Structures are given as structure tokens and as C-alpha cells.
Amino acid sequence: MTTGIGARVKRREDKRFITGKGKYTDDVRTENQAYAAFVRSPVAHANVKSIDKSAALEMDGVIDVLDGHQLTGDGIGNIICGWAVTSKDGSPMNMGAWSALATQKVRYVGDAVAVVIAETQQLARLAAEAVDVEYEELPVVAFADKALKDGAPQIHEEAPGNLIYDWEIGDAAKADAGLAEAVHVTEMEITNNRLSPNPMEPRSAVATYDEAEDHYTLYTTSQNPHVARLVLSAFYNVAPEHKLRVIAPDVGGGFGAKIYIYPEEITCLWASMKTNRSVKWTADRSEAFVTDAHGRDHISTAKMGFDADGRITGFKVDTIANLGAYMSLFSSSVPTYLYATLLSGQYDIQNLHANVRAVYTNTVPVDAYRGAGRPEACYLVERMMETAARELGMKPAELRAKNFIREFPHETPVIMTYDSGDFDANLAQAEEAADVNGFPARREEAAKRGKLRGLGYSCYIEACGIAPSAAVGGLGAGVGLWESAEVRVNPVGTIEILTGSHSHGQGHETTFAQIVAERFDQPIENISIVHGDTDKVQFGMGTYGSRSGAVGMSAIVKAMDKVEAKVRKIAAHQLEASEDDIVIEGGEVKVAGTDKALGWHEIGLAAYTAHNLPPDMEPGLKESAFYDPSNFTFPAGTYICEVEVDPDTGTTEIVQFTASDDFGTIINPMIVEGQVHGGIAQGVGQAMLEQVIYDEDGQLITGSYMDYTMPRAADLPNFSVHHASTVCPGNPLGMKGCGEAGAIGSPPAVINAITDAIGNNDLAMPATPQNVWRAYQAASAKQAAE
Amino acid sequence: MDMTGEHIIAAPREEVWAALNDVDVLRACIPGCEELEKTSDTTMEAVVKQKIGPVKATFKGAVELENIDAPKSYTIRGEGQGGVAGFAKGGADVSLEEVPEGTKLSYTAKAQVGGKLARLGSRLIDATAKKLAAKFFDNFQKHLNGPDASEEEAAG
């Protein structure tokens, strides 16, 4: 079978994407379309003294200008963070109020204070300029470490000292004792740079209120339309769930930024009711920079102790996480349960402790971005390991292998239970593919050309497929993290799969169909995948955290189990055989070892005509299932990066990048490789190019592609991608997930390679030519002084 | 950002000082100035049109004179709101010194921008602010000395 599990089936969705026929939210046009433009604060922190709408309201084509007092007056609820993290002293997190349109105070540049609804987008934008807002400026704090200092400007009265929580995990006393007995301690200060997610399609919403039905429809760029409906209904009081349909049509990339429910979607829905018009808003790129939740932004100090043999005796981490001006939907969980729980890496570390303080600053809210917490953990652990190896005079691979976990299941001191893996296999495969043995000769050759060549490792592990609902509930999550699916076999035998997962670049229409084609031995063209519409799909938790395979596909498998059971019953009844002898083979349902068979379509027809079904069987052939995983999944692997640095300019070229991943079962190697390629590209972007920069006044000064550098094809080598897989025991297909690995594993490999080349471990991301040149100069000066 | 500069103006200090306090002169010399009206002895209201990088905006704002030590020095401070383009504010300490060629005008200026201007134009702000400051003093010198004024000199 060429379309089943393991086949390189070309992406079925690409025909419409590459011919420009995709249907995105901004392509939706309604009959009475009006347009929204937001009036946003140009200052980072201020009291809103007055809003004068008169000039805007007088302009032709302006339907209305609405503000936060009207919004809260209509009972629209504050935006919430859906994961309650408890401080180590037992107190709940300090969440400040966030209204979709600010009423008294603005807290970051871009905070919306009013919205103009007009006949065209251009008119709305012009009118937004005419809204006169008087701000009384307040002192600003844009940096996480400064926000915690005495006397720092206070951003929310609910969070004294700007502290949202002071949380810990692991055993501090044991970690201290482990460090005390160490013969060598490696200490580092590590920052994780702030990033802007930049999906290709900016966020957009089209909200339509139907007065006659008292019903709302929202088209929106969402990774999880059902969660959006739930939150809009239960917390923001926009409409009850049965009166609100949320559709996330084709979505052009998410990377986490499209998980959350933002002020704009809420405001458009409310404004649609207020004006009795369909209201559309689409961000331009500049608006995306100040409204899409940013990612990462950690400042950490870490200490790792080693015994004489190179074994880790203790590991202690202290992190300050910048959550921006408001707590976005899952922001609290990212620097805690998605970060510190992975600080054990691939290593057997018995004594581990992490402390995390999350703080408010006058910046755009920060939430999950491709990898969400796990890149921060991986970067910290892998920079520490590589630096420690250099300090100990050991080979980086040797130090890592000495500490590898080799027995599964393995319980870490930071609440994770790794279920499977073969870290030695990934390391060996990557080292061979990267020809590590030939590196000294390549370094020597490069030196003859005046180039500094460096090699860097990263042995990553991450937790995907989040996760058992009861477990995340116990950790404070406000939602369950199961997935649902429905399998409909039509009377003619074609199959529709309705899934709660959402595809915004992952290729679900191909891979999900592959597992069905394999299971029922049907042509892939007879299978369609339906997702992204709350009126069609029963429910879903959406797509993030590489959960669509391990959780979403498992739900489909569970529903297919039920369909198959019914198919067997129908076939056994009609063919007068035992259910146990029925096999699905060659597109037919057969009695094993005989020539008695029914075509797949005959089974479908039989189920719907219901002329000859077993006694008491209900007609129809449609089953649904909810699947709740038993554990996280743990993709892992080794990445090896090789670079050449020009010592005169600091310009760095990645000359080779090798990946060996353990993703468990792979449905479509081509799509998986694509995910790895994209992930590494984003990781290289973080490592070498991207950085959101605020000035002291809280002004975002990297608000366009002139100043915020995205990776381009010329910045990347031809990736060498390999797989050495172990089967995940936690789900029926044995899958682990591949969506984020590239972005998680690659930044430390890149930085470890550059620091190897320049002989200075003190290098922060992004490794721009200027930063690399400075670090190299510092190392050279130090060497000269010695 | 900070800017400093010096200009030699071939005119007596009293005359230069008077011009620095003359609304009509300032209106003519401030690049892009469309309106400038006195609201008191030391305050003015202004409308200035500017393009910085991709952002075009009309700034409406107030100008204030402080630390007046006639005819030697003052501080001129301005703040303009450019609607969704953001805001610009700044100030300059201006001092006049009698020199053989006439009057030496020295300034130390600070400029700050916010909103879309900071986001889209940050790379251009320094260059633009320097250009605008140079243009103002160039205009000012020409106003007093006529078009064939002595060479200006601006250092950032």
C-alpha cells in the first residue's frame, strides 16, 4: 500500500494552497460587511484621561466608535489566563484584570483603547487616527529583572512588586547538597531572547451577529476553535455556546500565537451585535508585532555540579520569566510546567531544583511559541552540558553519554516520567551522519582559509501530546487535554473523518487520511478530513504542543476500532461466518481463507439500508470517540551543528546541520522532515537573527522586518535529517510528535558550535555578526593577556 | 537619542536672541511647520508635518521655553501627538556666545519617539532627527544671514 503509514504521500491540501485557492479568514466576505480598526496606545504605561470620539464619528462612512466602558458595561468579561499556577508559599498567582478594550489604564504600546467600525478598512483606519485619546503617562518598566527591583513602576495593583508568582519544583536541599559534594561546578547566566511568532498569515476575525436568530458566527485564525468558543462563551460572556459558531478555515501558520483568544476577536463579536453589522478585522504586520503574543524572554542563572567521573551531582536553576503586561491564556504554564519539568534533559539527575518568578512588564503579553518552555529548558541544559564538558576537558558527547538515562520508565525529580527512548542510538546516528571524526581535519582546513570552524551538540528531550487531563488538571489547567474524533462511513463507502485537531500547516488532511487508508485498506481519495468548525466537529482541544498525532490521531484510531467492530458484525451476519474470521483486506471485507467477501461499499450500503442487519443493531456506520492520553510523549534526539566564523566580521555560516530524531512511529516521513526543517529554521532564527527589542520607555523598536530579522533560505544549510525511533508505549500508534523538536533542539547546537569556534562560552542569542565578533575579540584579548 | 551642534552666525547676539524668540522666524525655520502660534510669553502651539521612514504624520503639539537667561540661553521643549503614528517629543538646550565672527549658537538636543514611529522608523529616527535639527539651524542661519551663510557644522 503506497498511501498508508510510512508512505511519502504528497500533501493533499497543497493543491489549493499553491494555486492560491486556500480560503483564509480574510477571504470571507459577508453581505453587510463593515470593518474594524483599533485605536492603540502609543505609550507603554498611562492613565487614560479621556477619549474624544467626536471627530471620528462625524466622518463619512463611520458606523460607530466603541470604547472599553461600553464593552464592560455590556458585561463582556475580562480576558483570563486558563492555567492557575500556585506560588511556593501556597498563594494563588496574582492575575491583573485585562479588558479587551482598556478602560482606565494602558499597559503596553499597542494596548487597544477603542475600536472604529466603518464601511471600509481604509475609512476605519483614517477614523481611528481621528480619535483623540488623552494619556497621563506613568513610569515604565520593560525588562523582567528591573520589574522585580524595589521601587519599580507598579503595573497591576493585583500583583505587588509586579510578581505574578514565585514557584518552585524539585528539592532545593538535595540540589544544594549535590552541588556541595561536586568536584566541579559549572555556573552560567543564560538569557533566552524574546521572539515574535510571525506566522505568514496575520490574525484575522470576521464576526457576524444574526439578530433574527440571536446567533453569532466567528471566522477566525485559530488553532483551536472549540476552545475559542468555550472561552468566549464561559468567560467573556459574548454568547452561550449553542448561540456561537466558531470557524477556523485555512490558517496560515500558528506557532502558538493563534491558540489564544485576543481582545480583537472578542471586540469584533461584541461590535457586531452593537452595530448589527458583520465586523471584519485583519492585522497588518505592524499590528501583529504589537498584538500577537510574544515568546520566550527568560533570564536564568544555573549551577550544575559534577563528580570526578563526570556524573551530575546536582543542578539548580533560578529563572525570571517576563509575561508582559497581561497574562495571556496559557502564559502561566509555559515557564513552569512546560519548562522546569524538562530540566532533567536526557540525563539521570537525582538532585534538581528550579525556582521561577514570573513578572509583569510594560510589554506585549508573552505566551507559548513553538516549543513553549521546552526550548528554554533545552537551551539551558544543553549550554550547561557543553560548557561543562569544555571546563572538564571531556568530549561533549562523552559527558552526555555518561549521564544518559538508559532505563525506562524513568521518573525525574521534576515530575516527568519518561516512557521510552534510546539516547545512545540518536547520538551515534547523528555523530556518524555528521562525520564528527572528520571534524579536526575540516577545522584545520578552514583555518588555512582564515575561518574558525566549530562543532556543537544538543541532546534534546521534550514533552508532547499534552496530556492526561486529570494530570494537567491537578497542575492547575482549566481545561482537559483529550481529543475527539468521529468516523463516518457513508452509504457509498467513502469516509469522512471529523477531528478536533486543527491543521494550520501540519498536513493533517494527508496524514490523518493515511491512517484511515491503512486501517480500512481504502483509496486515500475516498477519505476526507473535516476540521475547524464547531458546527461540524463535536468538540476538540485543537492543535499545539505536537499533540495532533499522539492525541488527535489516537482519537481517530479509537473511533475506527468501533467502526471496525460494527463492520465485522455486519459482515459476519451477511456472510454467515464468525466475527473472528472476518478480515479487511484488499478493499474488501472477507471471511479469512475463503472466497466469501463483501465490498467495502457494500458494507456501507448495508448499514444504511438496514435491510439485513444483525438483530438489535442500530442502522448507520458512524462512530465517535474521545481519547485521553495516559502520559505525555517524549520525543528526543541529537542535533549537531557545524559552523564557520569569519573572525574579522563575526559573520557565521552554518555549514552543516545534522538531526537524529526519535519521534516514535512516523506516518509520513516527507511531512515529518518538513516539520523538522521548519523547526530548525525557526531555531536558527532564534539563535542567530531574531530578537524583539524594547527601549527603556517600553517602545517596541523592532516592529517591522527592517529591524526584526527572520531566517531566509540563504541563512540555512541543506539539513541532514535522520530518524532512530523507539515506539511510544502510551498511544495506539506509538507516536511521539515532531512539530516542535526542530525549534527546541537547534538553538543550543548552533550556539555551542559558535562558542566552540570562537573559544568563548559567553555568547548570548541572537549570535549576530556584531555579538560574535565582540565575543571573539574578548576571548582573543583574554588569551593575549594570559 | 542625543544630538549636539554648533553654528557660527554672522549677527550680534541680541539679534540672534530676538530671532530665537520670534514666532514668525521659528515657523519659517522649523522643517514641516504649518502652524505656530503663541499662547503665552513662553508657550506656543504647533502643527508640524513630517515623514519618517514609512510613517507620515501630522503632529499637533505644544512648544515651551524654559530656563530663560536672556540673551544667553534657553531650553526649548516640544511634544507632538501624531495620532496612530505615535508621538514625538524632544528638547534642546540652546546657548549663545559672542565670538569675533558674530554669535556662536550651541545646542544639545534630545529626541524621543513612540508608537508606530518607534516601531517602523527606529532605524531612521537618529538620522532623521539629526537631519531635522541640521535643517532647522541651517534655515535659521539663512534667515539671519541670507542664503550665502557660512558653513554649518553639526556633530552627533
> What is the value of ipTM here, to two decimals?
0.77
The pLDDT of A195-224, averaged and rounded, is: 97
What percentage of chain A exceeds 90 in pLDDT? 96
Res B86: pLDDT: 84
Q: What residues does A660 pair with on adjacent strands?
A: A638, A722
Res B127: pLDDT: 82
**What's the gap in Å between the CA of B49 and the closest CA on chain A?**
15
CB contact burial B30-51 (16+ within 10 A = b; e otherwise):
beebeebeeeeeeebebebebe
The pLDDT of A52-73, averaged and rounded, is: 97
If one compares B52 and A39, the residue with the highest pLDDT of the two is A39
How confident is residue B145, by pLDDT bands cut at 50, 70 and 90?
confident
**What's the gap in Å between the CA of A125 and the closest CA on chain B?**
9
In terms of domains, do A133 and A269 share one? yes
Determine the Cα–Cα distance for residues A736 and A464; give it in Å rounded to an integer: 7
Give residue A133's domain range: 14-138+200-253+258-291
In terms of domains, do A87 and A224 share one? yes
Whether A42 contacts chain B with CB within 8 A: yes
Position B74 pLDDT exceeds 80: yes
Contact A623, A486 (CB under 8 A): yes
- Flag whether A610 is in a domain: yes
**What's the gap in Å between the CA of B116 and the closest CA on chain A?**
7
* Last residue of one domain, picked from the residues A591, A611, A627: A627
- Domain residues of chain B, as ranges? 2-145
- Flag whether A108 is in a domain: yes
Contact A391, A202 (CB under 8 A): no
Position B156 pLDDT exceeds 70: no
Mention every residue, 6+ apart, whose C-beta is less than 8 A from residue A509.
Answer: A11, A12, A13, A503, A528, A529
Closest CA to A234 of A266, A202, A276, A272: A266
- Flag whether A612 is in a domain: yes
If one compares B127 and A120, the residue with the highest pLDDT of the two is A120
Position A112 pLDDT exceeds 50: yes
Residues of A with CB below 8 A from B88's CB? none
A128, A699, A701 member nearest B84 (Cβ):
A128
Position A753 pLDDT exceeds 90: yes
Position B121 pLDDT exceeds 80: no
Residues of A with CB below 8 A from B87's CB? 42-43
In terms of domains, do A529 and A642 share one? no
In terms of domains, do A621 and A657 share one? no
Residues of B with CB below 8 A from A703's CB? 116, 118-120, 122
Position B152 pLDDT exceeds 50: no
Closest CA to A663 of A720, A723, A717, A709: A723
Res B128: pLDDT: 83
Res B147: pLDDT: 61
| pLDDT tens track for A303-314 | 999 999 999 999
Residues of A with CB below 8 A from B120's CB? 286, 703-704, 706
How confident is residue B131, by pLDDT bands cut at 50, 70 and 90?
confident
Determine the Cα–Cα distance for residues A590 and A2; give it in Å rounded to an integer: 21
Closest CA to A317 of A365, A295, A349, A346: A349
Position A79 pLDDT exceeds 70: yes
Residues of B with CB below 8 A from A697's CB? 112, 114
In terms of domains, do A740 and A619 share one? no
Res B150: pLDDT: 44
Position B151 pLDDT exceeds 60: no
A42, A125, A707 member nearest B114 (Cβ):
A42
**What's the gap in Å between the CA of A190 and the closest CA on chain B?**
27
**What's the gap in Å between the CA of B115 and the closest CA on chain A?**
4
- Flag whether A505 is in a domain: yes
Whether B77 contacts chain A with CB within 8 A: no
Whether B114 contacts chain A with CB within 8 A: yes
Res A632: pLDDT: 95
Which chain B residue has its CA at the smallest distance from A41's CA?
A: B115
In terms of domains, do A442 and A502 share one? no
Whether A599 contacts chain B with CB within 8 A: no
In terms of domains, do A647 and A574 share one? no
* The listed CATH number (3.30.530.20, 1.10.3110.10, 3.40.50.2000, 3.30.230.10) that belongs to domain B2-145: 3.30.530.20
In terms of domains, do A771 and A644 share one? yes
CATH number at residue A637: 3.30.365.10
Position A626 pLDDT exceeds 80: yes
CB contact under 8 A, A706 and B123: yes
- Flag whether A42 is in a domain: yes
The pLDDT of B78-97, averaged and rounded, is: 87
Taking phi over 0 as left and psi of -120 to 50 as alpha, with beta for the rest, A178 belongs to alpha
In terms of domains, do A645 and A599 share one? no
CB contact under 8 A, B119 and A43: no
CATH number at residue A265: 3.90.1170.50
CB contact under 8 A, A703 and B122: yes
CB contact under 8 A, A706 and B118: no
Which chain B residue has its CA at the smallest distance from A132's CA?
A: B83
Res B149: pLDDT: 42
The pLDDT of B129-147, averaged and rounded, is: 85
- Flag whether A303 is in a domain: no
In terms of domains, do A216 and A69 share one? yes
Domain count, chain A: 3
Res B155: pLDDT: 39
Position A201 pLDDT exceeds 80: yes
How confident is residue B125, by pLDDT bands cut at 50, 70 and 90?
confident
Residues of A with CB below 8 A from B117's CB? 42
Position A245 pLDDT exceeds 80: yes
Average pLDDT, whole number, for chain B? 85
In terms of domains, do A604 and A672 share one? no
* Last residue of one domain, picked from the residues A627, A643, A661: A627
Average pLDDT, whole number, for chain A? 96
- Flag whether A358 is in a domain: no
**What's the gap in Å between the CA of A53 and the closest CA on chain B?**
13
The pLDDT of A562-582, averaged and rounded, is: 96
Residues of A with CB below 8 A from B123's CB? 706-707
* Last residue of one domain, picked from the residues A590, A612, A627: A627
Dihedral sign for Cα A508, A513, A518, A519, please: positive
CB contact under 8 A, A109 and B122: no
In terms of domains, do A547 and A684 share one? no
Residues of A with CB below 8 A from B119's CB? 109, 286, 289-290, 699-704
Which chain A residue has its CA at the smallest distance from B121's CA?
A: A701
CB contact under 8 A, A42 and B87: yes
- Flag whether A475 is in a domain: no
| pLDDT tens track for A282-304 | 999 999 999 999 999 999 999 99
